[in-house]
Homo-oligomer: A and B are copies of this chain.
Amino acid sequence: MMRQTSVDSPTFSPLYRQIKGLILQALDNGEWRPGEAIPSEIELAQRFNVSQGTVRKAIDEMAAENLLVRRQGKGTFVASHSDPRAFFRFLRLVPIAGGIEPSRSLPLECWRAKAGPEAARVLGLKLGDPIIIVRRLLEFSDKPVVVDEIYLPGEVFAGLSLEVLKESQGSLYSLFEARFGVRMIRAEERLRAVAADRASAELLRVPEGSPLLSVERISFTYGDRPVEWRRGLYSTAAHCYLNELG
């Protein structure tokens, strides 16, 4: 590991960030799988030839970014969407009445297509590249609340089908992670209010034209590479989108 020198202003980066970069790279390379433990701080310190404190600071940042999970006495683990605690990490919908509701994901359709200009731009593909489109319904307490249309790069998600979706347990992202090795680590959502079109209205069992929350999401994996584009329509009659502003 390179130490700092006195003459490196433009690309200056403290040691612990370089370590962070190396750990990130190892994660991206799949050196440790989601849910697995990474080596102990002492081992990593030896491997990178730095002190334990420096490794610690690198891991601290990555834990704050939900990339790693520390567990005292046990070790540090690669964050996983298969961990029940992370199931709803990206879903901000909560019942207005409060409490917790049983939820279910109902895959409706799954087909192959070619990327149009917008999908290509968002997903960083070339025009006409293969993509996969998934439509699914999300229910809470057996009532439909969300319709999602999900665009995925066909290259990465080859083999995805309606059957695979129907068989899978847990969240979509845990399926993506376990079956396709794609780990979503960050997302951007853009929210608007729109009027329900005919098809969505029927699925959500609301009158056509009633106001729905449109949630457009771009999800990124390591290195800020976009790997999912989805648009959801949320019925906010009994649920709302909860957001914490820090």
Q: Are B246 and A191 neighbours in the complex by a CB distance under 8 Å?
A: no
- By beta carbon, the residue of chain B nearest A187 is B245
If A211-B211, A212-B211 touch, whether A244 touches B186 (CB-CB below 8 Å) is yes
Residues in B whose Cβ lies below 8 Å from that of A213 = 191-193, 213
Alpha-carbon distance A240/B192, docked complex (angstroms): 5
- Total number of A residues with any Cβ neighbor in B under 8 Å: 33
CB pair B241–A191 under 8 Å, yes or no, is yes
> Of residues A64, A96, A194, which shows the largest number of chain B Cβ atoms within 10 Å of its Cβ?
A194
For residue A89, give the distance in angstroms from its CB to the closest CB of chain B.
7
In the complex, the chain B residue whose C-beta lies closest to that of A184 is B245
User: In the complex, are the beta carbons of B186 and A211 less than 8 A apart?
Assistant: no
A214: chain B residues at CB < 8 Å are 193
Partner of A188, one of B90, B234, B242: B242
Q: Are B188 and A66 closer than 8 Å at their CB atoms?
A: no
**Cβ B236 vs Cβ A192 within 8 A:** yes
A189 and B236 within 8 A (CB): no
Q: Is A40 an interface residue (CB 8 A)?
A: no
- Judge if A243 is at the interface, Cβ distance under 8 Å: yes
Give the residue of B186, B195, B216 whose beta carbon is less than 8 angstroms from that of A246.
Answer: B186
Give the complex CA separation of A246 and B240 in angstroms: 19
| Residue A129 at the chain B interface, CB threshold 8 Å | no
- Asked if A46 CB lies within 8 Å of chain B CBs, one says no
Say which residue of B89, B188, B192 sits within 8 Å of A244 (CB atoms): B188
> CB-nearest residue of chain B relative to A216?
B240
Contact pattern, A 181-225, Cβ under 8 Å of B = 1, otherwise 0: 000001111111111000000000000001111101100000000
Do B244 and A190 touch (CB < 8 A)? no
Give me 9 A-to-B residue pairs in the complex whose CB atoms sit less than 8 angstroms apart, sorted by A's number. A190-B242, A191-B236, A191-B241, A191-B242, A192-B240, A192-B241, A193-B193, A193-B213, A193-B236
Since A92-B245, A191-B191, A193-B211 are in contact, a sample of 4 more A-B pairs with Cβ atoms closer than 8 Å, ordered by chain A residue number, is A189-B242, A192-B240, A193-B212, A211-B212
Q: Which 9 pairs across A and B sit closest by C-beta, in order of nearness?
A: A211-B211, A192-B236, A193-B211, A193-B193, A191-B241, A187-B245, A193-B213, A190-B240, A189-B243
